[in-house]
Structures are given as structure tokens and as C-alpha cells.
Chain A
């Protein structure tokens, strides 16, 4: 990829499955995007989800999103597969060492509040499983 390429984390929500369409193939072939799928739930005749990183030219990513939307797919470009509820979080920091990619970290050494950097999250769901307060949840 050349210098003007960008990486975006996207979540696709399929109200009903479009399993017969090779969507990922099209993203690679037609829009020259590098695709890294973190997590997917694809079941015939049901809703489906896909959380992925796409890397490519910004304009190509936009065109790819428009293409995906033609299948009645909702595209969430802020990557909301894992959500941290700030109100439920008690800022204990228990999750921090379990978050291997470093998406959850102690933001401020004085107040010891926990911050969540969504762009670093790879959807491993370790935080969802271990948070005693149920502050981290998964969209699917």
C-alpha cells in the first residue's frame, strides 16, 4: 500500500443474511482493499455481523462502503462490536492486563481512570468475559 492509504475499523450489520454475495471478495478485488476480519457472525436466514479492518485509499473505502450498503447492510464506521459503558465501569483497571492489544489502559496515573481506545480493539472479547461489572459488552 502506498502512503496515502488509511485503515478503518468497520462493523457491518446485516438485517438478514446475504450469504450468496461474496462481499469480502468484492472489497478486495473491486476496491483494492486489504481486509482483516476480526469477528463475524454469519448464519443463513438470520441477521449477521462482521467486524473488520479495511486498508486502502480513502475514496476506495468510501466507494466500498456505498457498495456494501446496496445490500441493505448497515455500516458502522466507529467499530462498535465491543462497547464499554463508562457508567458501568468502576475504573478498577482489572481489565487492563488482559487487554493484549492495549485498547484498555490506565489513562491518567493520578486519577487511575481507565480509557478505551476503540481503534486498537481486535474484538478478542477478553474484557467482556472478565469485567466483574459487566461494563464491556459485545454487540453480538
Chain B
């Protein structure tokens, strides 16, 4: 009867608070369970920490500047010359990480450079740097000021709230290029004739791969978001929990995603990093850690997922991905990917790279484990589950009057 409740969130939180919680990382738990056995380990271990660090293009932040004298209702705003969205209440803006700076080279002479964008602004803000705000307004009776140029740091803001609609993809594609020419994608530089392959997941350390059925990760789950204590506020966009799975329940494609939020003022700069991909664009690399409470043996068993159990789809970004054919060339395990060499369709690809940092993910899993052991991080039970049956819908091109 492995699935009966052994521990509750309250009991685990009490142990965390008293500094007695037994916490292991998802990297350590497999060997521990092999040694101790599932039953004994489930009684003993309170939390397993999972983590990931990689580009998460659906990241951004809400900033509140406070009111100037006289007041302004910003209708257009730029931070460090990066356009922010102002269709919000006065002096609130939303800054997205893939927005480019005005005047950026923006792929001039492809494959070209992208020097600076929203992700870099977010990195600079978290790092405490001084940034320029330039805003325009049409002027109203209540907000008469029509233009403002000033400088600020994150400390000057009332709120700097990171809001990421699509983070922590449960699994992800391995990208190859079967076309005749080199292509430049969000999965990096892909050489023709499948000469190289790139992947992007922390594999056995990754949060949703350690909780494949969303038993403990749901809306309301407290997470470690770049050092801040944030939470899951919704299922992520494109969440497709109903995708195909291995017999053990591990999704064999993208599947689930999380929408996360956290206070940027509490974040650590080394886990919030603007990135530029030659020939593609800018983004933000972000570190996320999620604790999994060991409520019962089944929850523990699923945290023992190993790289060899996780299969990723190999997709041709030369044709199939951009044309949305849904074609998958084959599947490879994370164990194979980590060797730097994979076999697809009988052909060996000798050059395999990762866009996700296992090293940083490991660091995050350990930092979170330390916080839990010290009693500095409390768990929260989800108050709504993520859907296990959701499928991703395509955009259908229809005629206007139908």
C-alpha cells in the first residue's frame, strides 16, 4: 500500500521549522533509495530538491515606478532603451525578456548579433545597476506630465515582480538540422546534415520530471525562483500534461509547464542572466528550484527517475519544427545525451551540446536543500492541480467570415 499518506505537509513543515528535516537532492536520492530501500527511505526522507537552469523565453516582470511630481500616465516607456509594455495602470510597466533594445543590431547581416534586450535589463536590475527610464504620455488632467527621463535602481521601485507564464518545460526537444545549410535557432547553431544536436533540460534533476503526474507541484506550490521564494500561480502556457508517456509515466515530449512568480528584489544575480543567441534573439536564463515533499513511497519512487529513464524527442529544426509537421526523428535518453554522442536513425551524431546548465541546477538543488535544512524555506501544498489531460492546440488558419 505504497500510496497511503505517510506524512502531511504540516508534519514536514514542522520538521523543517525545527531544523530536523532530512533533505536530499534529486541527484542524491537515487543512490540513497538503492541503498536503503524505498520503504525505509520514504519514512526517513522529508524533501527531495529538484532544479533547473536554462533559457526561459517566457519571462518578464511587472515594475511599479511610483509617482513623479507632477504625475505621469506612461503611455510608452523604455528601460535602458528596451521597450516596456504600458497598457496597465499608471506608472506600471511589463518588461518581457525577449524584447530588443532600440537600435540593437537585431540580426543585421545574418547570422547577426543581438546585444541587449529585456533579459539583460532584468539581469542588470537584479544586479543592482542603475538604469535609465524614458517615458512619454499624452497628458491628462490627472496625469499632466508628458515626458520623463530619469535613472533608477531596483531599490527605487515599489515593486519588481517577476512573472513568467511558461517556465520549467517538463521535457524538451533535441534539436538537429537535416537541411543543406547551417541554421540559427533558439536551440542554438545547428549545422547541416545532422552534424550536431542540442538539448535543453536538467534531466534527472528537473522539477516536473521528478513529479511527472503533478502530485506535489501545482498551483500554489512555493518554489525557489532565482533565490526568491516565489510560487506557481497557474499552469504554464502550452501546458500539455496529457502528452504521451513511458510506462513509468515520464512524458516523452514537452508536456507540462509552470507559470511562476517571485519578488525580484529577493533574487540572486547569478541565477538571472540575460542571454543572446546569434542569429536568433535575446532571452533570459533563469534558475528554478522546486522541493518535492515525500508524502509517500510513490512520490519518492518518482523522484528516483534517472537520466536513462528520460527520453527526449529528436526534431529536425531545418524543416519539421518550423513547418509544424509534428514529425519526430527518434528518441534518445538523457544518459545518451550526456555522453556527447547520440544515434538517430542509425546515424551517429558526435557533437551534442546542452543549453541547460546541469552544473547550475545542481548548485540550486543544493542551495534549496540547505535552506530547507536550516528551516528557512516552508513548503506549501498546491490548492489546485495541474491538468493531466491537457493537449496543446494548434492555431488554425480560418477565413474571416467563418
B357 near A93 with CB under 8 A, answer yes
Q: How large is the interface on B (under 10, 10 to 19, 20 to 34, 35 or more residues)?
A: 20 to 34
Return the CB mask of A102-135 against B: 1 if under 8 Å, else 0: 0000100101111000000000000001101110
- Scan residues 62-96 of chain A and give those whose CB is less than 8 A from a CB of chain B: 90-96
Whether A15 sits at the interface, judged by CB under 8 Å, is no
B179-205 toward A: CB 8 Å interface, digit per residue (1/0)? Answer: 000000000110000001010000000
B351, B352, B355, B362: the one contacting A92 at CB < 8 Å is B355
B139 within 8 A of A: no
Chain B residues with Cβ below 8 Å from A93 are 353-354, 357-358
**Chain B residues positioned under 8 Å from A92 (CB to CB):** 53-54, 353-357, 359-360
Write the A36-77 contact mask toward B (1 if CB under 8 angstroms, else 0): 000000000000000000000000000000000000000000
Within 8 Å by CB of B362, from A109, A111, A134, lies A111
Complex CA gap A91/B285 in Å reads: 12
Name the residue on B nearest A97 (C-beta): B351
Chain B residues touching A, majority SS: strand
Q: Does A98 contact B (CB under 8 A)?
A: yes
**Which positions 275-297 of chain B face chain A at CB distance < 8 Å?**
275-278, 283, 285
Q: Is there contact, CB below 8 Å, between B357 and A130?
A: no
Of the listed residues B275, B285, B340, B353, the one surrounded by the most CB atoms of chain A closer than 10 A to its CB is B353
CB-CB under 8 A for A130 and B189, given A90-B285, A90-B360, A96-B340: yes
Q: Is B273 an interface residue (CB 8 A)?
A: yes
Question: Number of contacting residues on A, CB 8 A?
Answer: 20
Which residues in window 192-225 of B have CB below 8 A to A? 196, 198
Q: Which of B53, B354, B360, B362 contacts A94 (CB 8 A)?
A: B354
Q: Which of A97, A111, A130 has the most B CB atoms < 10 Å from its CB?
A: A97
Question: With the chains together, A130 CA to B198 CA distance in Å?
Answer: 13
For residue A73, give the distance in angstroms from its CB to the closest CB of chain B: 31
The yes or no answer to B256 lying at the interface (CB within 8 A) is: no
Chain A residue with the shortest CB-CB distance to B285 = A90
A91 close to B353 (CB less than 8 A): no
User: Which B residues have a C-beta under 8 Å from some C-beta of A?
Assistant: 53-55, 188-189, 196, 198, 273, 275-278, 283, 285, 338, 340, 350-360, 362
Binding site for B on A (CB under 8 A): 90-98, 106, 109, 111-114, 129-130, 132-134
Q: What are 21 A-B contacts defined by CB distance under 8 Å?
A: A90-B359, A91-B359, A92-B355, A92-B357, A93-B353, A93-B357, A94-B188, A94-B353, A97-B352, A98-B189, A98-B353, A111-B362, A112-B338, A112-B358, A112-B362, A130-B188, A130-B278, A132-B275, A132-B276, A132-B277, A132-B283
